[in-house]
Amino acid sequence: MSRLAKGGQLDRSQQIPFTFDGQTYLGFKGDTLASALLANDVRLVGRSFKYHRPRGILTSGSEEPNALMQIGVGPQTTPNVRATTQEIYRGLAASSQNRFPSLSFDLMEVNDLLSPFLSAGFYYKTFMWPKAFWEKLYEPVIRRAAGLGALSGAADAAHYDKAFAHCDLLVIGSGPAGLMAALTAAKGGLDVILADEDFTLGGRLNSETYEIDGAGCSDWAAGIVSELAAMKNVRLMPRTTITGAYDGGTYGALERVSHHLATAPDHAPLETFWRIAARRAILAGGAIERPIAFPNNDRPGVMMAGAVRSYVNRFAAAPGQAVSIFTNNDDGHRTAADLVAAGVTIAAVIDTRAGAVAVADYPLITGAQVVGTSGRLGLSEISVRTSAGIRKIKTDCLGVSGGWNPSVHLTCHMNGRPVWREDIAAFIPADGAIPGLISAGSALGEMSTHAALKTGADAAAEVLKDLGKKAPRVTLPKAEDAPVTIQPFWHVNGAKGRSWLDMQNDVTSKDVKLAHQENFRPVEHMKRYTTLGMATDQGKTSNMNGLAIMAELTGRSIPETGTTTFRPPYTPVAIGALGAHGAGKSFAPERFIPSDALAREKNARFAEVGLWYRPSWFTQAGETNWRQSCDREVVMVRASVGLCDVTTLGKIDIQGPDAPEFLDRVYSNMFSTLPIGKVRYGLMLREDGMVMDDGTSARFGENHYVMTTTTAAAGQVMMHLDFAAQVLWPELDVQFISVTEQWAQFAVAGPKSRQLLDGLLSEDITDETFPYMACGDVTIGKVKARLFRISFSGEHAYELAVPAHYGDAIARELDKRAAEMGGGWYGMEALNVMRIEKGFITHAEIHGRVTADDIGAGRMVSAKKDCVGKVSSQRPGLSGPEREQLVGLKPVGTVKQFLGGAHLFNVDDDAVRMNDQGYITSHCFSPTLGHTIALGFVKNGRARMGEVIKMVDLLRNVETKCEICNPVFWDEKGGALRG
Amino acid sequence: MVDLIAKTPLADLLPAAAGGLTLTEAAPAAITSIMPFRGKDAACSTALKKAHNVELPAAGHVAGTDSARVVWTGRGQFFLIGDKPASTAVGKIAALTDQTHSWAVMRLEGDDAAAVLERLTPVDLRAGSFFQGQTARTELAHMMSVISKTAKGFEIMVMRSFARTAAHHVLEAMHSVTAQRQIN
Amino acid sequence: MRINCPICGERDSREFHYRGSAKLLDRPAPDAGAEAFYDYVYIRENPTGLNRELWFHDSGCRSWIVAERNVTTHEFFKTELAVDAKRGAK
Arithmetic mean of pLDDT, A63-82: 90
Please give the pLDDT value at position A165.
98
Q: Is A176 or A145 the better-scoring residue by pLDDT?
A: A176
Q: Pick A53 or A747 by higher pLDDT.
A: A747
ipTM for the predicted complex: 0.98
What does pLDDT average to over chain C? 94
Contact between residue A419 and residue A428 where contact means Cβ atoms under 8 Å apart: yes
Give the pLDDT band (50/70/90) at residue B37. Answer: very high
pLDDT of residue A261: 95
Determine the pLDDT at residue A578: 94
CA atoms within 13 A on the CB side of A612: 26
Identify the segments of chain C with pLDDT beneath 70. 89-90
Cα A429 to Cα A412: distance, rounded to the nearest angstrom: 8
Q: Is C33 on the interface with A (CB under 8 A)?
A: yes
β-strand A691-701 against A679-685: which pairing, if any?
Answer: antiparallel
pLDDT for A116: 65
d(CA A716, CA A722): 10
Mean pLDDT along residues A663-686: 97
Is A296 exposed, middle or buried, given 0-12, 13-18 or 19+ CB atoms closer than 10 A? buried
Give the domains, in start order, of chain B with CATH numbers.
16-27+101-180 (3.30.1360.120), 30-98 (3.30.70.1520)
Rounded mean pLDDT of A849-871? 95
Residue A125 confidence (pLDDT): 63
d(CA A701, CA A775): 11
What pLDDT is attached to residue A637? 97
Interface of A with B in 204-243 (CB under 8 A): 233
Architecture of domain A291-402: 3-Layer(bba) Sandwich (3.50)
List the strands of the sheet with B135-140, edge to edge. Answer: B16-18, B21-25, B103-109, B153-159, B143-149, B135-140
Q: Residue A127: what pLDDT?
A: 57
CB contact under 8 A, C12 and B122: yes
What's the rounded mean pLDDT across residues A731-735?
A: 97
Q: Tell me which architecture the domain covering A881-971+973-977 has in CATH.
A: Beta Barrel (2.40)
Check CB contact under 8 Å for A248 and C2.
yes
Indicate if the pLDDT at residue A777 is higher than 80.
Answer: yes
Residue A683: which H helix or E strand, with range? strand A679-685
Contact of B138 with chain C, judged by CB distance below 8 Å, is answered with yes
pLDDT (0 to 100) of residue A146: 56
Q: Is the pLDDT of residue A871 over 70?
A: yes
pLDDT category, A799, cuts 50, 70, 90? very high
A871: nearest CA in chain C? C34
CATH topology of domain A1-153: Ubiquitin-like (UB roll) (3.10.20)
Whether chain B has a CB inside 8 Å of the CB on C60: the answer is yes
Q: Which CATH superfamily is domain A498-564 in?
A: BFD-like [2Fe-2S]-binding domain (1.10.10.1100)
Tell whether the model's pLDDT for residue A483 goes beyond 90: no
- Whether residue A107 contacts residue A114, with contact meaning beta carbons closer than 8 Å, is answered with no
Q: Which fold has domain A160-287+406-466?
A: FAD/NAD(P)-binding domain (3.50.50)
Q: So where are chain A's domains?
A: 1-153, 160-287+406-466, 291-402, 498-564, 642-834, 881-971+973-977
Taking the Cβ of residue C72 and every Cβ of chain A, the question of whether any pair is shorter than 8 Å is answered with no
| Residue A834 or residue A978, greater confidence | A834
pLDDT, residue A52, reads 84
A494, pLDDT greater than 90: no
**8 Å CB contact of B137 and C63:** no
Q: Span A442-452, mean pLDDT?
A: 96
What are the residue ranges of helices labelled H in chain B?
A: 41-52, 88-91, 113-117, 163-180
Q: What percent of chain A has pLDDT over 90?
A: 87
**From the CA of C67, how many Å to the nearest CA of chain B?**
17
- What confidence score (pLDDT) does residue A118 get? 65
pLDDT band at A287 (very low <50, low <70, confident <90, very high): very high
Q: What is the pLDDT of residue B124?
A: 96
Q: Which fold has domain A642-834?
A: Gyrase A; domain 2 (3.30.1360)
Mean predicted confidence (pLDDT) in B42-69: 96
Residues C71-84 as b/e (b if ≥16 CB within 10 A, e otherwise) read: eeeeebeebbbbbe
Least confident window among A70-74, A344-348, B87-91, C21-25: A70-74
Confidence of residue A133 (pLDDT cuts 50, 70, 90): low
Predicted pLDDT at A149: 76
Q: How far apart are CA A726 and CA A133, in angstroms?
A: 61
Whether residue A182 has pLDDT greater than 60 = yes
Q: What is the pLDDT of residue A440?
A: 98
**pLDDT at residue A550 in the model:** 94
**pLDDT tens digit sequence for A28-66:** 999 999 999 999 999 999 888 888 889 999 999 999 999
Same fold yes or no, A1-153 and A160-287+406-466: no
Q: Which pLDDT value is given to residue A49?
A: 80
CA distance C2 to A791: 46
Bridge partners, residue A937, by sequence:
A886, A919
pLDDT confidence of residue A38: 97
Q: What is the pTM of this model?
A: 0.94
pLDDT of the residue at C89: 63
One-letter amino acid identity for A316? Answer: A
Identify whether the C-beta of residue A302 lies closer than 8 Å to the C-beta of residue A292: no
What is the rounded CA–CA span in Å between residue A633 and residue A636? Answer: 5
Residue A114 pLDDT > 80, yes or no? no
Rounded Cα–Cα distance for residues A101 and B47 (Å): 83
pLDDT given for residue A154 in this prediction: 85
Which tens digits make up the pLDDT trace of A697-732? 999 999 999 999 999 999 999 999 999 999 999 999
Is C44 at the interface with chain A, CB within 8 A? no
Q: What is the pLDDT of residue A5?
A: 94
Residue A141 has pLDDT above 90, yes or no: no
Q: What is the pLDDT of residue A50?
A: 80
Q: Residue B71 has what pLDDT?
A: 98
Q: Give domain C2-89's CATH architecture.
A: 2-Layer Sandwich (3.30)
Pairwise CB contact (< 8 Å): C74 & A872? no
Chain A CB within 8 Å of residue B162 CB: yes
CB of A909 closer than 8 Å to CB of A918? no
Mean pLDDT across chain A, nearest whole number? 94
In whole angstroms, give the CA distance from residue A18 to residue A5: 21
Q: Which of A687, A727, A874 sits opposite C64 (nearest CB)?
A: A727
Percent of chain A with pLDDT over 70: 96
Smallest CA–CA separation between A676 and chain B, in Å?
Answer: 17
